[in-house]
């Protein structure tokens, strides 16, 4: 399970918010990769996740991205604990 802390004003970088004009929420990129890259090598998925995290300005660690890539590759569930700050 991964963890990330996001400020309340930037939660739209992680999750889709229909009221927001921000167009690249990380969870959508993750879902898209999970749908298209199952069974692909972890090493192929990591740079795609890194690019999505960088675009969304989210600070996932390398270990977080490896864990996420493994989940995508194997089709396993991935649980992310989100801490929202004021």
Spatial separation of the C-alpha atoms in residues 77 and 5, rounded to whole Å: 20
Q: For the segment 21-49, what is each residue's pLDDT rounded down to a tens digit?
A: 777 799 999 999 999 999 999 999 999 99
What pLDDT sits at residue 14?
Answer: 92
Beta bridge partners of 58: none
C-alpha distance across the termini of the chain, in Å: 23
CB 23 within 8 A of CB 55: no
Of all residues in the chain, the percent with pLDDT exceeding 70 is: 100
How many domains would you assign to the chain? 1
Domain that holds residue 80: 2-18+27-85
* Tokens 């660690």 found at: 61
Tokens read off for 82: 């989100």
């Amino acid at each position: 399970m991964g963890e990330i802390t996001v400020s309340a004003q930037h939660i739209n970088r992680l999750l889709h918010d229909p009221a927001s004009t921000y167009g690249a929420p990380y969870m959508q990129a993750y879902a898209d990769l999970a749908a298209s890259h199952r069974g692909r090598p972890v090493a192929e998925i990591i740079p795609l996740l890194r690019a999505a995290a960088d675009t969304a300005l989210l600070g996932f660690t390398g270990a977080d991205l490896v864990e996420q890539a493994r989940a995508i590759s194997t089709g396993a569930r991935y649980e992310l604990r989100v801490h929202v700050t004021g």
